Amino acid sequence: MAKDENLKFDNPILKKLDSQLGGLLAEASSEEDFTGKSGQSTILRLPGLGSKRVGLIGLGQLTPCSPPVAYRSLGETVAVAAKAAQASDVAIVLASSEGLSAESKIYTASAIASGTVLGIYEDNRFKSESKKPALKSVDIIGLGTGPDVQKKLKYAEDVCSGVIFGKELVNAPANVLTPGVLAEEASKIASAYSDVLSAKILDAEQCKELKMGSYLGVAAASANPPHFIHLCYKPLTGPVKAKLGLVGKGLTFDSGGYNIKTGPGCSIELMKFDMGGSAAVLGAAKAIGQIKPPGVEVHFIVAACENMISGTGMRPGDVVTASNGKTIEVNNTDAEGRLTLADALVYACDQGVEKIVDLATLTGACVVALGPSIAGVFTPSDDLAKEVLAASEASGEKLWRMPLEESYWESMKSGVADMVNTGGRPGGAITAALFLKQFVDEKVQWMHIDMAGPVWNDKKRAATGFGISTLVEWVLKNSS
């Protein structure tokens, strides 16, 4: 059960439970010095109940105005406790839910359910031995029942399935998840929801015909050929009110190329997560395929490849030409993600979309600026910023709008081409975003999300599934 820091056992369900235990629940919580502060939890073994354990979980100072996503941590904590206790059945009751509106109760139940589902999940695909969680059922008590609740819980389930799919893509090692395998996984999504999703996979020759020289330059060194992925969602019925593009960076492994990643902190062993942007886009595609929102057409685009080293590889100083005709002097082969995104963004604009959001593990500079939990947002559009930031708030994912300082473009000028692919060290996340801006039609609203920090949880040594929930929320807002 969850308890607010400012509240005692004023909930009628808790009062009844404590009464059945002869006051032992309140007494035990007092002895454990449990005050309900955020992050506090304790498991009590108490007699006289059908259940063997009662857990107390602190949520801090929540009010009826607190966003429902604040309760997601409750679900995650319950899941961790359930796994530790090998519990098969769990019931959750809030110490105080009387002040919540009917709508807030529905969203709160959904947030708790999401936290529990994602908290109980473990990716053990690559372990020789693993235990399956014993948890079979979770009852959320006191937050309502009926079709509205069930509809919201189904939505939470669909989004969670997309998040778990995205996590598994990022967690998979690079020898398992090659560009070809990523394309296969994308095609499976389209096949599973073929009533609303279609797939087009372009090979290197087809990309060459489209003059994607920037993308193909990055892919040139790898023994694993590139695969350009395009999924398209169209609603079952009714008119299309909005056409959206979601573009994800799809480097299934990034060695850095000839500017190879070396030295302490380079994290080359983790560069399987350099396709985190594509995982967000494809995880969102899976969720959208299940939810089937009306009134919106969505294009999910990934330029998948590896950045490797070989005699056929791109060299520092080479000049490549993107599909919009702009030329790029490659002054750093380890700034490859933006080169692949350049052609992906041009392709997205060619689909006639009105708004584009791209996601990429693009720069270490953004991690230095915002830390490991917050993604940077870059856009010239205030309207699009409001839309996506509202979606992130609803989903509980942290975004922060960064300046798109045009004067910094001066550092991106080349003596032999239209631009270089990296500027100086100062403002590296900003100049990276300015580079991408060169490949977006001026009529299209565009946003770049640098998710290099929150793509990975160092403590858990696993992917976070970041971005998927926000993208789904944003797409649904555009469908209504």
pLDDT at position 326 over 80: yes
**Better-predicted residue by pLDDT, 309 or 88:** 309
Examine residue 133 and state whether it is found in any structural domain, yes or no.
no
- Confidence band, pLDDT 50/70/90 cuts, at residue 96: low
Tens-digit pLDDT profile for residues 64-79? 677 767 789 889 988 9
**Do residues 297 and 212 share a domain?**
yes
How many domains are there within the chain? Answer: 2
Give a yes or no: residue 415 inside a domain: yes
For 77, 128, 252, 372, 428, the CA distances from 262, given in Å and listed in that order, are 38, 31, 18, 21, 19
Residues 407 and 283 occupy one common structural domain: yes
Residue 135 in any domain: the answer is no
Specify which residues 321 forms β-bridges with.
327
Q: What is the CATH number of the domain that holds 169?
A: 3.40.630.10
Residue 83: alpha-carbon gap to chain centroid: 24
How confident is the model over 436-453, as a mean pLDDT?
99
Q: What is the mean pLDDT of residues 219-226?
A: 99
**Range from 26-30, 151-155, 333-337, 474-478 carrying the lowest mean pLDDT:** 26-30
pLDDT at res. 4: 47
Query: What is the average pLDDT across 68-93?
Result: 85
261, 326, 398, 477: which is the annotated catalytic residue?
261
* pLDDT classification of 133: cutoffs 50, 70, 90: confident
Q: What is residue 7's predicted lDDT score, i.e. its pLDDT?
A: 43
Q: What is the pLDDT of residue 73?
A: 86
172 and 103 together in one domain: no
What is the pLDDT at residue 321?
A: 99
Residue from 3, 72, 249, 338 carrying the catalytic annotation: 338
Q: What is the 3-state secondary structure (H, E, C) of the chain?
A: CEECCCCCCCCHHHHHHHHHCCCHHHHHHHHCCCCCCCCCEEEECCCCCCCCCEEEEECCCCCCCCCHHHHHHHHHHHHHHHHHHCCCEEEEEECCCCCCCHHHHHHHHHHHHHHHHHHHCCCCCCCCCCCCCCCCEEEEECCCCCHHHHHHHHHHHHHHHHHHHHHHHHHCCCCCCCHHHHHHHHHHHHHHCCCCEEEEEECHHHHHHCCCHHHHHHHCCCCCCCEEEEEEECCCCCCCCEEEEEEEEEEEEECCCCCCCCCCCCCHHHHHHHHHHHHHHHHHHHHHHHHCCCCEEEEEEEEEEEECCCCCCCCCCCEEECCCCCEEECCCCCCCHHHHHHHHHHHHHHCCCCEEEEEECCCHHHHHHHCCCCEEEECCCHHHHHHHHHHHHHHCCCEEECCCCHHHHHHHCCCCCCEECCCCCCCHHHHHHHHHHCCCCCCCEEEEEECCCCCEECCCCEECCCCHHHHHHHHHHHHC
Least-confidence region, from 50-64, 258-272, 425-439: 50-64
Angle between helices 276-291 and 179-192 (to 10 degrees): 10
Tell whether 308 is covered by a domain. yes
Residue 338 annotated among the catalytic residues of the structure: yes
Whole-model pTM: value is 0.94
pLDDT the model gives residue 156: 96
Per residue in 356-386, pLDDT (tens digit) is: 999 999 999 999 999 999 999 999 999 999 9
Question: Is the distance from CB of 308 to CB of 273 less than 8 angstroms?
Answer: no
Among 120, 154, 175, the domain boundary falls at 120
Task: Give 398's contacts (C-beta < 8 A, 6+ positions apart).
Answer: 373, 374, 375, 392, 454
Q: How confident is the model over 325-343, as a mean pLDDT?
A: 99
- Among 105, 120, 135, the domain-final residue is 120
% residues pLDDT > 90 (the chain)? 72
Q: Tell me which residue range forms the domain holding 82.
A: 2-120
Q: Is 261 a catalytic residue?
A: yes
Instruction: Return the residue matching tokens 């830390």.
Output: 371
Higher local confidence (pLDDT), 387 or 68: 387
Burial tier of 380 (Cβ tally within 10 Å: 0-12, 13-18, 19+): middle
- The reported pLDDT for the residue numbered 57 is 80
Domain boundary among 102, 120, 138: 120
Enumerate residues 6+ apart whose C-beta is below 8 A from 278.
169, 182, 229, 248, 249, 250, 302, 304
**Does residue 257 have a pLDDT over 70?**
yes
Same domain, 220 and 79: no
Confidence band of 9 (pLDDT split at 50, 70, 90): low
In this prediction, residue 53 has a pLDDT band, given cuts at 50, 70 and 90, of confident
Res. 348: pLDDT tops 50: yes
pLDDT grade, residue 103 (50/70/90)?
Answer: confident
Give the pLDDT of residue 10. Answer: 61
- Read off the pLDDT band of 160 (50, 70, 90): very high
Higher pLDDT, 406 or 79: 406
